[in-house]
Amino acid sequence: MNTRERLRLLILAVLERQPEHGYAIAQAIHARSEGLLTAREGTLYPALHALEGEGLIVSEEREVGGRLRREYRLTEAGLGALARTRTDWQAQIRAVQAVLGLPQQEAQS
């Protein structure tokens, strides 16, 4: 999985919990990864636009704290894509662990 595909997976996973605006998505990725992963504006927003173009997420403008923000929400198609991508990611993890000679871990649901 390349960097672009990984970012798409992370965005979909964040939006699975609840709708969010772009900055909150970036913050969630950073926080959940304990600071190891970042989603920079220059890559985050093009990924959000691509996911929306594919029908995996939808957006609408909402007023938050007196400011207009674009909020993104996962679609049913997005949920399906997230499930497929998680399965692919878990297979890749198992493959890398096998090559490295690491013990195989149970997949988390």
Which pLDDT tens digits describe the chain residue by residue (109 residues)?
Answer: 788 899 999 999 999 999 999 999 999 999 999 999 999 989 999 999 999 999 999 999 988 789 899 999 999 999 999 999 999 999 999 999 999 998 876 655 4
What is the pLDDT, as a whole number, of residue 108?
54
Give the global pTM: 0.86
Helices 41-53 and 3-17 pack at an angle, to 10 degrees, of 70
Query: Does a structural domain hold residue 109?
Result: no
Separation between Cα atoms, residue 2 and residue 70, nearest integer Å? 27
> Which CATH number is 67's domain given?
1.10.10.10
Query: Does a structural domain hold residue 105?
Result: no
What is the pLDDT, as a whole number, of residue 100?
94
Query: Does a structural domain hold residue 108?
Result: no
What is the pLDDT, as a whole number, of residue 8?
95
Number of domains in the chain: 1
